[in-house]
Structure formats: C-alpha cells, structure tokens
Amino acid sequence: MPLSAPAIIFFLLLCLPSGPAKYTIQNSKAVSITYTGNMGVLISDEKTAVWIDGLHEYYGPEYLNPPDSLIEKAYTKRPPFNNLQWLLFTHYHRDHFSKKLVNHFLQKKSRYKVIGAPQVVDSLLASDAVNAWDKNTEVFYDNLSSLRIKAFNIPHTWPQRHAKVQNIAYLVELNGFRILHTGDADTDMDAFTHAGIGLIDAAIVPEWFINNKSGKQIIENLGAKKVIVAHIPPNEKSSDNSTIKNAGVVFFENIGQSTSF
C-alpha cells in the first residue's frame, strides 16, 4: 500500500539527525609553521613563505642558531624555502638577526623583501627594505597570495635594560589564519591591549610567556587556539607549567619541527 504524502514527510523527518546542524568553515589551503632556531619560524603554504627571525648566527650556548646546512637550503630555495619571499625581523639582537647573512641573501638575483625596525633595515643593502616601526598597522597586503602582514610596537622584555630596543610583533595572516609572532616581547598586558591586535589563531611566544601569569593572560585574551613556545635554551627541559585556556601548546625545541593548520 503506497504511503500518503504526510506519511512520507513524517518518515523523512525521522531520518534527519537530531540536534542543530553543525557546519565547519574550511580554510582553502593549509598553512605550516616550521622551526628554524631560537625564535625563528617559517610560515608557509604551497606558494608563499615568510621567515621571521630566521637568519642569525651563533650567539652563545643558551641560544639555538640555524646550522649552515639549513642556511644553505634557504639560500638555494630548497623545500621548505622554495617559495621564500619575505624576511621579517622582530629586532636587531644577534640571536634574531645577522646583518651578514641577510646581506648575503639580498645579493642574490632573487629579490627578497625585508621588514624590520630601523635598527635592522638601516644596516641593510636592500632597496626594498620596509620600515615597520611605529606603524602599528598593516605594512603589506597581497590579495593574490592571501598574505597580509601587520606590525605592532611591543616593548622588549626586561625594559629596564632594553628600553631602546625596537621590538616588533608581527601578525601574519595567510589563507585566513592569523598568526602572531611576538619577538622578545615583555609580558606587558597594557601594551598588547593598546596595540589592537584582535583575535588570533596562533601565538608564537618565547618561553617566559607560559611561565608568567600575565603572559598566559595575554595569550588567552588574544584567543589563540594554538601556542607555539620557542626561545628555549638547548638542553633545557620544557616547562610542565604549560596550560593555556582553550589552547594547545607546542614546544619548538628541535630544528625542523613543524605544526600546521
């Protein structure tokens, strides 16, 4: 006996899943973050790569610098550096920036673009160097590559000693993901609040942020879902005090480590 129209509708309703429908917004392309030493990270997708604090030399046993093999791989644009275009530096300290290595890169025919404070870019040969100090806003946007870079003045840690250091926190937006690299920022909540960074997907922070109540609160206020901890001295055991509300924590300790979205 064929079912009536009301009966068919009732049957179909019973087959529907209970509860509200769940939808996931997918970003169009994956983004990877790869560790290159100290606070150095490569943020990349299949066609664009941004290297932050990546080119620096040996500075002491408490700092992990990139080995010559990695520098050569970047210089010859072998994976994961094959799409490298941008060199960003948070500040001029030698565990974050090497004038010699950067100028070596800039002498290549492939044109790299450099972003940094005057204490960095004024020492370079690059005509394309971008001064990002005192901008506190967007310094680059490319719709074709889905790349947006914003720069914010954030005081360097231990301001009593480093008050004159021009430390820049970079917000890299790639394929819809918002990734904040703080450099050697102080855990100054007011500085982050006044910067107006907005909500983020990931925070790349030095280890003192997760060992400090204010540092943890800053990360939570920014809404980071992933926290990448770097600037960890070699042979130092990672802190177990790593709970961040609503966020997963990844410790970058070995060169070549990576995480992705």
Cα 248-236-228 angle, rounded to 5 deg: 25
Domains held by the chain: number: 1
Rounded mean pLDDT of 13-25? 35
Domain of residue 236: give its range: 27-253
Give the CA count within 13 Å in the CB-facing half-sphere of 234. 12
Whether 93 maps to a domain, the answer reads yes
Rounded mean pLDDT of 154-175? 97
Predicted pLDDT of residue 18: 37
Does residue 23 have a pLDDT over 50?
no
Rounded mean pLDDT of 244-253? 94
pLDDT grade for 240, boundaries at 50, 70 and 90: low
Predicted pLDDT of residue 20: 31
Predicted pLDDT of residue 237: 77
Whether 5 maps to a domain, the answer reads no
Whether 230 maps to a domain, the answer reads yes
Does residue 231 have a pLDDT over 70?
yes
Predicted pLDDT of residue 233: 95
CB 38 within 8 A of CB 230: yes
Average pLDDT of the chain is: 89
Instruction: For 146-158, write each residue's pLDDT tens digit.
Output: 999 999 999 999 9
Query: Token digits for 234?
Result: 């070699």
CA 243 to chain centre: 20
Predicted TM-score (pTM) above 0.85:
yes
Predicted pLDDT of residue 109: 67
More confident residue, 110 or 221: 221
Backbone φ and ψ for 133, nearest 5 degrees, come out as -75, 140
More confident residue, 160 or 6: 160
Which strand ranges, in their side-by-side order, compose the sheet holding 32-37? 130-131, 113-116, 84-88, 49-52, 40-44, 32-37, 258-260
Residue 85 and residue 50: Cα distance in Å, rounded?
6
**CATH number of the domain that 206 lies in?**
3.60.15.10
Whether 37 maps to a domain, the answer reads yes
Whether 11 maps to a domain, the answer reads no
Whether 200 maps to a domain, the answer reads yes
Rounded mean pLDDT of 131-135? 97
Residues of the chain above pLDDT 70, percent: 87
Whether 158 maps to a domain, the answer reads yes
Predicted pLDDT of residue 108: 81
Predicted pLDDT of residue 238: 73
Instruction: For 32-56, write each residue's pLDDT tens digit.
Output: 999 999 999 999 999 999 999 999 9
Whether 91 maps to a domain, the answer reads yes
Q: CB count, 10 Å around CB of 35?
A: 25
Low-confidence winner among 28-37, 177-186, 233-242 (lowest mean pLDDT): 233-242
Residue 55 and residue 92: Cα distance in Å, rounded?
11
Give the CA count within 13 Å in the CB-facing half-sphere of 230. 34
